[in-house]
Structure 1
Amino acid sequence: GQRGAEPRLLCARLEPSGGAGAGPLGPERRPLPPHSGGGPSPASERPSPRHKASRFLHSGGGGSGQSEDGKRDPESEDDVVNITFIDRSDRRIPVRGKVGDNVLYLAQDNGIELEGACEASLACSTCHVYVNEDCYDKLPTPDEREDDMLDMAPLLQMTSRLGCQIILTRELEGMELRLPKATRNFYVDGHVPKPH
């Protein structure tokens, strides 16, 4: 890759607060069918992720931790997590989030075109993002369901994650999330996403 081509933004080195994970997804969460298909799993063709940093308790995704209107302000400046999205035209979009925010919902609340067709039920890869390397190493290891969905994402990279599975912690201050040039939208179990 071209990792040296751009200046690298380092994430803040802060201690985890312990309860940074978000709650359950809610009633719309559906389990995925077991992996099926012949031949080797695409996961075997992808290099395994490198995880050097300590892990946090991770609930596997979930609600945004926001009020119904999605616009609750952080309770204190200690809860603020500043991140930057880089859209498909390389435009940098700074976003002020808070500890516990789900990256998919935070992007959507700020007008960033991160689709999330399955509404964070781990049934698609349309919220696929590239995480800057320093922050990628601070994220919890993707679970098997997220890995299965990432295997279907086009343009997969070593730092690929699903935005719906990234929950902001103070340690992710300065995180950069690049949107891939393409995503693959498909329907699972007849689910039809709501229009945006």
Structure 2
Amino acid sequence: MAKITYVEANGTRHEVEAENGSTVMENAIRNDVPGIVAECGGACTCATCHVYVDEAWTAKAGGPSVMEEDMLDFAFDVNDNSRLSCQIKVSDELDGLVVHVPENQA
């Protein structure tokens, strides 16, 4: 299990316990985190689960795949820390992960 903290654009924090092997997006949906829409259900085809990985976690979370980079083109306000939360797998290494939810989703 890993703890993930989702920070809304307004600063509201949501801390959840996440099972290894699940995704950051799945845990946001299970815990009703506002701002994570996930219209495609995690298939990496919609960009509505866009998050910003906190700078302290970018190396451990890794960068986007080529397919993910293509989908990020459809997200709003993409920056160097942008990821699709459906593509971030939870593991013990990510215990304490902090992600920021953008103000708007695609």
Matches within 5 A, 1:1-196: 80-113=1-34, 114-184=36-106
When you count strand as a share of all residues, which structure comes out higher? 2
| Structure with the greater alpha carbon radius of gyration | 1
Per the TM alignment, residue 108 of structure 1 is displaced from its structure 2 partner at its CA by 0.6
Q: Contact 2:3–2:97 (CA<8 Å) still a contact in 1?
A: yes
Higher relative contact order (CA 8 A, sep 6+): 2
When you count helix as a share of all residues, which structure comes out higher? 2
Distance 2:21 2:58 in 1: 17
Give identity over the alignment, percent: 33
Q: Any unmatched runs of 5+ in structure 2?
A: none
TM-score by length of 1: 0.51
Distance 1:139 1:92 in 2: 19
Distance 2:101 2:62 in 1: 20
Per the TM alignment, residue 160 of structure 1 is displaced from its structure 2 partner at its CA by 0.4
Per the TM alignment, residue 88 of structure 1 is displaced from its structure 2 partner at its CA by 2.9
Per the TM alignment, residue 175 of structure 1 is displaced from its structure 2 partner at its CA by 0.8
1:171 counterpart SS class: helix
Per the TM alignment, residue 82 of structure 1 is displaced from its structure 2 partner at its CA by 0.8
RMSD: 1.2
Runs of 4+ more than 4 Å apart: none
User: Which deviations, in whole Å up to 9, do the C-alpha atoms of 1:80-126 show, x marking residues without a partner?
Assistant: 20110111321011111121121111001001121111111111110
